[in-house]
């Protein structure tokens, strides 16, 4: 597969960030591996905490021309100079988010393993649709997004597709021909050397 045809990396932050440590760790990862976009996906609902994290991650990301989106919190996008939003309620909020953020913002939608939800999100103006989990995980409904969903989507639909959830090198190898992005998070952050772990995963593409 030619380099320009290879999927791109979409990095997901850990759910809890130590702002004394994480910005430097993120910088090391971004300096080693080319990343297209970062998703700030924090467990916290505290606006002050989210805002501090958004500012810290944005500084590292934008210094390297990497886009930064935040999970669900539309109001923080403009306030903290972020590039857009990743919605976790399937296609339901896409139209409203597009209207609120304008044509230039990134609006992405997580659609589980539902082809119909993905198509609805795309028609409503999503810039990308994320399907998953692709690997074995106890999270969510446990319903996996199978390879044939990605194969069908890449053949039939123009909207870029993201594969995420319990990714392994084997899964990445198998899905590389039929996906545009791999969303990678816990797969690297739980290791001793996230930059090296990400490098190893990208080699599987």
In this structure, what CATH number is given to the domain that contains residue 125? Answer: 3.20.20.70
Our CA angle for 76, 77, 78, nearest 5°, is 95
Contacting residues for 59 by C-beta, under 8 A, at least 6 apart? 23
Instruction: Please write the tens of the pLDDT for every residue from 188-204.
Output: 999 999 999 999 999 99
Mean pLDDT of 87-105: 96
**Whole-number pLDDT of residue 138:** 63
Domain that holds residue 105: 3-203
pTM of the shown model: 0.94
pLDDT at 146 over 70: yes
CA distances from 17 to 25, 42, 68, 96, 191 (A): 11, 8, 15, 29, 15
- Report how many domains make up the chain: 1
| Of 198, 158, 195, 193, the residue nearest 182 (C-alpha) | 198
CA torsion, ordered 139, 168, 19, 61, to nearest 10 deg: -120
Mean pLDDT of 80-84: 98
């Amino acid at each position: 597969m030619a380099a320009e045809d290879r999927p791109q990396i979409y990095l997901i932050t850990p759910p809890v960030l130590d702002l004394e440590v994480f910005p430097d760790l993120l910088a090391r990862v971004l300096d080693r591996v080319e990343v297209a976009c970062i998703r700030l996906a924090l467990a916290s609902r505290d606006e002050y905490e989210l805002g501090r994290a958004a500012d810290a991650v944005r500084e590292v990301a934008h210094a390297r021309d990497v886009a930064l989106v935040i999970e669900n919190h539309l109001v923080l996008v403009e306030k903290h100079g972020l590039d857009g939003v990743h919605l976790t309620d399937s296609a339901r909020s896409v139209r409203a988010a597009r209207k609120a953020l304008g044509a230039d913002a990134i609006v992405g939608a997580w659609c589980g393993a539902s082809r119909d939800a993905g198509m609805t999100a795309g028609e409503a103006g999503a810039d990308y649709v994320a399907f998953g989990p692709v690997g074995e995980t106890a999270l969510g409904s446990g319903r996996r997004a199978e390879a044939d969903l990605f194969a069908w989507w890449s053949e039939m639909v123009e909207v870029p597709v993201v594969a995420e959830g319990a990714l392994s090198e084997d899964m990445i190898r198998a899905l590389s021909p039929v996906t545009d992005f791999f969303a990678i998070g816990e797969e690297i952050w739980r290791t001793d050397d996230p930059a090296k772990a990400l490098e190893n995963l990208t080699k599987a593409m």
